[in-house]
Amino acid sequence: MKYQHGLVMGGTGMLSAAAVALARQSTQLTLVARTDLSLQRLAAQVARPELVSYQLRLDWSNRALFIDGIHQHLAQVGMPDVMLCWLHEDDCLLDLALGIPPLPAPMRVIHVRSSAISAPGQRVDPVKAYCVARPDLAYQQVVLGFKLSGDTSRWLTHQEICQGVLTALDHPDKACLTVGVTTPWERRP
């Protein structure tokens, strides 16, 4: 297997196909989602006899419990070597990363971001700054843009989003991958 332990946060909706692909490349997989139903659905999609799978029902809107629950779980099962994250509040990932002890080998952090990160006048990105400064975190951003077609624009499909995430997964040397476009900003759907 390519990965010993994958951790997926926010993979039950638009990223479910990417979570399934990561599961196929992992010996063990931890899934984190807000509801039991979404966890059960994704767990059924990733299931295979040789995969050790964990499901954590944690709601990122209660940040302290979310972070504590993940850290407790990782203390029991070990640190992942790849983390795929789609969280509605980017600072939640920063809080999680701050609690990760120094690692003997780099952990890949694939952070899926909305196009808002590319907005004109956007502030310095503290998540990226912290992760890039740590040699034991191999940080990648996947920025979700939009598609232009003549005078119209549209948001990305789930398939396009997952393809972009899988491209990032296959290319650890790409620090930032934009799926679709993020400019011109005024053309966003």
CATH number at residue 53: 3.40.50.720
Q: What is the pLDDT of residues 59-90, one digit of tens each?
A: 988 999 999 999 999 999 999 999 999 988 87
Peptide bond into 184 cis (omega under 30): yes
Q: What pLDDT is attached to residue 88?
A: 80
The yes-or-no verdict on residue 7 having pLDDT over 90 is yes
CA distance 117 to 37: 30
Total structural domains within the chain: 1
With 0.85 as the threshold, say if the pTM is over it. yes
For residues 107 and 84, is the Cβ–Cβ distance under 8 A? no
Domain range for residue 29? 3-187
